[in-house]
Amino acid sequence: MVSCTKCHSPVSKQLMNSTQLDACPSCNTLLRVDVYPALYRPLPVGLSGEKLHMDKEAGCFYHPRKKAVIPCSACGRFLCALCDVTFNGDHLCPACLEKGKTKRKIKNLENHRTCYDTIALLVATVPMLMYWFTILTAPLTIFLTVKYWNAPSSIIPRTKVRFVFAALIAGLQIIGWILVFSNLISRTGS
């Protein structure tokens, strides 16, 4: 059931797929509702594993008393209907699915990433508000840039420009501090 996102009353069929803004009959809010056939598709029914009737039949790796229906596409273990997870056309066992997520073997399962290039840029720029912090953060930025240069960044397309800028800014900060200290030393010496 599609409902108005303001008043939560069901949306009438006249409002659907009209490709323009129409007023909700209940609350008069202007709505555009695009619906697709998935709305009318019944929900897939979960399958439970079939019990083994003969000893010669192959059993599921995870449920030995259940009949194996398919091998895992990644590890080859026999799986019952319950353990078979279809993902991107492959049949995977729950362990491989979990491993694919944690070890980033299946990209489409990743739902979180740390972008060290952004962190390096933030570490390089934000402490400039209180410039004396940069004496510590500039080397840290260089460390982050070197260590994580080849680490996987964001899933969405991006270049290494953040790392380059971070290293450039940190380099300038280090040069600046060297100049300050050399000036101080020369003054003290004279």
Partner 1 sequence: MAQNKKEYQKLPGLKKGFLIGKYTLWQGSDHLLHVFSRFGVEDYKRFYFSDIQAIITRKTAVGFIQNLVLGILLGLFLWPAIASWSGWSVLPGIVATVMLILLAINLLRGPTCESHLMTAVQTEKLHSLGRLKNAIKVMNRLGPLIEQVQGRVGPENLDQMPARPDTKNPVSIPGQPVRPSKITVKHEKGQAHTILFGLLLVEGLLALLTFFFRHVSLTLLGSVVSIFMGIFVIIALVKQHDSDMMHSLRTLTWVTLGFVGISFATGYIFGMVYALKQPGILYNQWEMLKSVSEISPWESPFMLGINIFMFCGALFLGLPGLFMLNKSPAPAEKKNAARANSQRHTVTSPNHKPG
Interacting residue ranges for partner 1, rule: CB under 8 A: 1-14, 16-17, 19, 21, 25-27, 29-43, 108, 110-119, 122, 154-157
CB of 128 to partner 1, least distance (A): 17
Q: How far are the Cα atoms of 33, 87, 104 from residue 93, in angstroms, in the given order?
A: 38, 10, 16
Provide the β-strand partners of residue 67: 59
Q: Is 163 helix (H, G, I), strand (E, B) or coil?
A: helix
For 43-67, b/e burial (b = at least 16 CB within 10 A) is: eeeeeebeebeeeeeebbbbbeebb
* Identity of the amino acid at 184: L
Q: Which is nearer to partner 1, 114 or 182 (CB)?
A: 114
Calpha distance 20→1 (Å, rounded): 20
Nearer to partner 1, 77 or 101 (CB): 101
Report in angstroms how near the CB of residue 106 gets to partner 1 at its nearest: 12
For residues 57 and 67, what is the distance between their CA atoms, to the nearest angstrom?
7
Distance of closest approach, residue 19 Cβ to partner 1, in angstroms: 8
Complex with partner 1: residue 13 or 51, whichever CB lies closer: 13
Nearest to partner 1 of 25, 176 (CB atom): 25
Least distance in Å: CB of 158 to partner 1?
A: 10
